[in-house]
Amino acid sequence: MKTLLAAILGLAFVTASPAAAYVVAIPTSISAKSVDDDTDLTAALRSAIDDVLSHAVAFSPTFVTVQTARLVGDRVYILLLIGDADGEATMKTMKRLSDAEDENELK
């Protein structure tokens, strides 16, 4: 009986595959010359993000965040963090683990 149980558990571990979690950081940029006000900035950002989502990402994202944005010359460089639901869960787990490590270092 123990052998059968061990075989079933071994088979379960061998056949189980981890879920794919997608998180990517993608840089993009927009022209600063074409941005006169907040409305123009919003439209330019949406256009840049839509372009990235339609051309650079092959999964269905559930979140898009702007990590950084910097003005360099006449361009605004933007770093986007994009992921799916499993990637979002992975990021939350990593943050929780990082916070726990930080807490342990303070003790």
As a CATH number, domain 21-106 is: 3.30.1660
The model's confidence at residue 80, banded by pLDDT at 50, 70 and 90, is very high
In whole angstroms, give the CA distance from residue 29 to residue 48. Answer: 7
Neighbour tally for 55: CB within 10 Å: 8
No. of H helices and E strands in the chain?
A: 3, 3
Secondary structure element (H or E) that encloses residue 107, with its range: none
What are the domain boundaries of the chain? 21-106
List the structure tokens of 77.
């460089």
Give the tens place of pLDDT for each residue, 18-71.
Answer: 668 899 999 999 999 988 899 999 999 999 999 999 999 999 999 999 999 999
Q: Which pLDDT score is estimated for 102?
A: 78
Q: What is the pLDDT of residue 20?
A: 83
pLDDT band, very low/low/confident/very high, at 5 (cuts 50, 70, 90): very low
